[in-house]
Amino acid sequence: MLVSLVVLLAAGASAGFLSGLLGIGGGLLVVAALSFALPTLGIPAVEVIHVSVATAMAANVLTLASAARAHIRRGTVAWPTWGWLAPGMVIGGFAGAHIAQFLSGQVLRAVIAAFCAVMAWKMARHSRRVQDPHRSEQLPRSPWLLPAGLGIGALSAVVGIGGGSMTVPLLIGLDLKPVRAVSTSAVCGFAIALSSALSYALTVRAPAQALPWGSVGYLYLPAAAIAAAGSISLAPVGTRVAHRISGTALTRVFALFLLTVGVLIAAGK
């Protein structure tokens, strides 16, 4: 059990750093750590992946709140863009968490691994575009961002993330500078995490086996608290690093992160 607690704390700290650096909640990393730790904490094997995803979303609420605050203080959030994305993300996050409850653990694990691989490839491609120093920045504010937010929110809730791995590539593709895309994504991710965590707490399909004390719906709050405790202190550090490195380096780190976590999730049992 002690090893599991250390793994969760380390995963939370890493997630906090990544939330500031990449505009994500680090949820995929926390999901991978939880899938290892939860069986030793009394979570039935049949419910491990569902509880891992739900608990990661609960931890993301605090993680992304810390990262979002740091980015807001630096004044790099594209608020008009956020205004178009956030409503769809909130609705999609709530709906996606309900959908995930009806997927089998094996299917859910496969969806997460495939998602990581696809987004890693897309981010690697975007790194070439960011290299152009003459590319002018545009501030995306199209009504089409509303349904895009809906889709991002729904898929984020299914795989246990704050949506940054989709929001950042989308905003970079729409000519927003990488550091501003990361900042805006962090604030968007907080909205997704909050609505998704609430949806996982208000279950539409009860867990097949009873969960231990400290569980609310599919959320295992003790594990979420441990992961969040590790994350909050390092989120501002990641934010500072994000503002100091090049856009190309930022997107390449993002791609490597996604690929690594996808392998970890796929290898889990």
Write down the domain spans for the chain: 2-267
Question: If pLDDT is split at 50, 70 and 90, which confidence band does 44 have?
Answer: very high
Spatial CA neighbour of 114 closest among 162, 57, 155? 155
In this structure, what is the dihedral angle of CA atoms 61, 42, 268, 188, given to the nearest 10 degrees? -10
Question: If pLDDT is split at 50, 70 and 90, which confidence band does 193 have?
Answer: very high
Q: What's the CA gap between 14 and 9, in Å, rounded?
A: 9
Give this prediction's pTM: 0.81
Give the model's pLDDT for residue 55.
Answer: 95
Per the model's pLDDT, the better-predicted residue between 1 and 232 turns out to be 232
Q: What's the CA gap between 105 and 127, in Å, rounded?
A: 33
Give the model's pLDDT for residue 126.
Answer: 58
pLDDT(131) > 50 = no
Instruction: Taking residues 220-240, report their average pLDDT.
Output: 84
Question: In the predicted model, what is the mean pLDDT of the chain?
Answer: 83
For the record, the structure tokens of 104 come out as 């089998």
For the record, the structure tokens of 206 come out as 């009860």
Q: What's the CA gap between 185 and 82, in Å, rounded?
A: 8
The percent of residues above 90 in pLDDT, for the chain, comes to 34
Give the model's pLDDT for residue 119.
Answer: 72
Q: What's the CA gap between 44 and 171, in Å, rounded?
A: 39
260: Cβ contacts below 8 Å, ≥ 6 apart: none
Give the model's pLDDT for residue 125.
Answer: 67
β pairing state of 219-220 and 215-216: antiparallel
Give the model's pLDDT for residue 84.
Answer: 94
pLDDT tens, residue by residue, 67-99: 888 889 989 999 999 999 999 999 999 999 999
Instruction: Taking residues 1-28, report their average pLDDT.
Output: 76
Instruction: Taking residues 100-126, report their average pLDDT.
Output: 79
Query: How would DSSP label each residue in 37-91?
Result: HGGGGT--GGGHHHHHHHHHHHHHHHHHHHHHHHHHHHT---HHHHHHHHHHHHH
Type of residue numbered 156: S
Give the model's pLDDT for residue 137.
Answer: 62
Per the model's pLDDT, the better-predicted residue between 242 and 106 turns out to be 106
Give the model's pLDDT for residue 130.
Answer: 47
209 burial type by CB count under 10 A (0-12 exposed, 13-18 middle, 19+ buried): exposed
Give the model's pLDDT for residue 268.
Answer: 60
For the record, the structure tokens of 4 come out as 């599991």
Per the model's pLDDT, the better-predicted residue between 129 and 96 turns out to be 96
Per the model's pLDDT, the better-predicted residue between 207 and 129 turns out to be 207
**Contact assessment for residue 51 and residue 135, using Cβ atoms and an 8 Å cutoff:** no
Three-state SS at 178: helix
Give the model's pLDDT for residue 220.
Answer: 96
